[in-house]
Structures are given as C-alpha cells and as structure tokens.
Amino acid sequence: MREFDGVVSRREPSGSVHRIYLPFILLLLIFTPRVDSSWWYIGALGARVICDNIPGLVNKQRQLCQRHPDLMQSIGEGAKEWIRECQHQFRHHRWNCSTLERDHTVFGRVMLRSSREAAFVYAISSAGVVYAITRACSQGELKICGCDTNRRGRASDEEGDFDWGGCSDNINYGIKFAKAFVDARERMVKDARALMNLHNNRCGRMVLERNMRLECKCHGVSGSCTTRTCWMTLPKFRELGFILKDKYSHAIHVEPVKATRHKRPTFLKVKKPYSYRKPMDTDLVYIEKSPNYCEADPVTGSVGTQGRVCNKTLLHHPNGCDLMCCGRGYNTHQYSRVWQCNCKFFWCCYVRCNTCSERTEVYTCK
Ligand SMILES: *[C@@H]1O[C@H](CO)[C@@H](O)[C@H](O)[C@H]1NC(C)=O
Ligand SMILES: *[C@@H]1O[C@H](CO)[C@@H](O)[C@H](O)[C@H]1NC(C)=O
C-alpha cells in the first residue's frame, strides 16, 4: 500500500449525511439559476452524493453517477483537492480562486466566460477527476479498477533492468471515466465555448498522463542497488498545479472557425492574422480576454480586490500593493507581537525570560 503526501482519504459516516445536506441542496436548487458545471457540487456536498438532487447534471452524467456512486465519492474528494490547489496557485493573484467553495453561483459565472481562468479551472478539475479515480483504484477502494496489471515481470529504463513490483497506478480507467463524465455536458452544446472547454479538459488529462513517473526501490547489501523494484506513480498534485499554472501563463488566445456549410464552429485556431495554426493539445486555450478583476462585478464573477492583503515592498509583482490594489491605494494595519524570549534555565529549578516584541504592519487594498 502506498502513501500519498497530504492526502487523507476519508469516508463520511453514512446515515446522517442526508439530513445535513438536503437543506443545502434545496438552497442550491432555489438560488442557482443555471449552473454550468454543477458536477463540482459533488465536491461541495462531500462524500455522499444523491445523484438526483445534484442540480444541473446532464442525463449522461446522472446515469454515470447512479451506476458508480463509489466513483462519485472519489470525485468529491478530488474536487476538494483541486480547489485547494487552485487557491494555492492563485493566492497572490487578483483572481484567487477563493469563490469556488463558498459561493457556487459566483463560481458558475466565472466559468460562464471563456477566459484564461476558466481554462485553468477546466484543466485542473478534469485532471483532478482522473487523479482521484486513479488513486482510489490503486488503494483498492473501487470495485471496477485496481493496479495496472500490465506492469509485471522485468523491464528496463536508462539505469538498467528492474522488476515491476508494488502497485503501479493505472491511469487509463480514470481517463476513460473522466472523458465520459466531465466532457458529457460540452459534447451536448457544440458551441465555441464547448470546444474550448473540451480542449482544456483534455489538456489537463494529458498533462497528468505525461507526468506519470517511475518510482523505484533499491535492494542489495548495504545500500548497493543490485536489484530494483519499480512502479508507475502519479506526480504530486502540487506538481500538477505548478505545471498547469505555467500553462495558464502561456495560454493561447484562440478563435472559433466554421468549416464551410457548418452552422456551428468546428475547431479552434490561434487568433493571429493570417494564421491557420491550431493550438497544440498540450496548450491551454482561451477565447475571451480576462477582466482585470479589480472591482467586484457579478457579470464576470469578479469579487474585486478590496480588503486583499498585499505586499508594499514588491513592485510589479501580482501581490505587490500597486498591482493588487489596482492603483486605489492601501490601508496600513499595525500589530505588535509580544513573546517570551532569551529564556534561561537556573539550577534548580526556574526559568527566567525576557519579553520581546515586534511591530508588524499589514497592508490591505482600499
Ligand atoms: C481571495 O480573495 C477574497 C476576496 O478578495 C478574499 O476574501 C480571500 O481571503 C482571498 N483568499 C486568499 C486565500 O487570499
Ligand atoms: C514582501 O516581499 C518581500 C520581498 O520578497 C519579502 O521579503 C517580505 O517578506 C514580504 N512581506 C510580506 C508581509 O509577505
């Protein structure tokens, strides 16, 4: 059994869940006009999922949900993980991904746009589904999948021969399921945004697949590596977050193209004059330029940066006060911290300390 850093797989006690979540679901049903990517609610709702009560699932998703409730549980846990990762990657940005867990209607609206931020969220959430399912497969939590049975016997890499051992993560099942489940809604719509979302969903899955790696253990006398046992493993989720964040920074501006005699856009091309290049599968793509996220704007899903903590000494950095506060200026808050310091032990038996203090200033955007 392998261990995964920072990931705790936890099952909610069953029984009480319905009672807790039903009012929630009703609220969501009442206050959610049209939610674009409602399977994210699975994360918000926690472990037990009541497929019929999740608003906005398309038929195909509802069927998959009913057929594989145990998978839905993994997806829910995966959702918490990718939302956390998104917030970590964007903690210094004006758009900081924080609306995801609290306010799903705002999140939905952010997603209504076809911005870079949407591209990142689609990619990381789609990869997150694959990740969560693959991990659950390896941990033996799902009936339908397990370790990669093709990794048997001997093999070799650039360092020499090794034996397959342990449990190799089998990403294929997760990819198949995520394709069917996550892409289901976009496959119905067939507009420019759907093309964009499908592209970014696939990009997320591909990035994860390409960053699978071989992990090995050496055996032999006194640390010599006479034989090795190896297995394939998922990268750390943090690493996936960094890679996708980098792709976000280099995302490609695209525009939809209609083939002749088609009513709907059929593919995306790089938005440059005289260019008919298609974006690469491993690039994130966006159609609309992002708003600046300076002011609260319910239309774009921006909550603004008022009250955000910024760093006064950083210039031209996303987290510096000039950029973060969009030129509105900042408020200064002074705190003093007092603690015991330079403690000495005297024989016998007492300790004498000095009192130290430090003033700190915190800046928040006006
Ligand atoms: C993200 O921004 C919101 C709104 O400005 C703020 O309330 C929240 O504390 C921020 N989250 C983090 C992690 O900085
Ligand atoms: C602000 O940025 C500087 C330079 O990177 C850093 O040394 C300092 O710790 C930061 N201040 C805060 C409050 O994060």
Tens digit of pLDDT for each residue in 305-340?
999 999 999 888 999 999 999 999 999 999 898 999
* Residue 120 pLDDT: 94
Residue numbers in the chain where pLDDT is lower than 70: 1-50, 54-56, 99-112
Q: Which residue has the tokens 């993994």?
A: 74
Residue 203 Cβ < 6 Å to ligand 1: no
**Which are the contacts of 21, defined by CB distance < 8 A and separation ≥ 6?**
45, 46, 48, 50
* Residue 100 pLDDT: 52
Distance CA 126, CA 39 (A): 11
Between the CA of 88 and the centroid of ligand 1 the distance, in Å, is 11
Q: What is each CA distance from 293 to 93, 97, 170, 192, in whole angstroms?
A: 9, 12, 40, 23
Residue 149 Cβ < 6 Å to ligand 2: no
Which ligand is located closest to the Cα atom of residue 317?
Answer: 2
* Residue 49 pLDDT: 52
Distance CA 218, CA 229 (A): 7
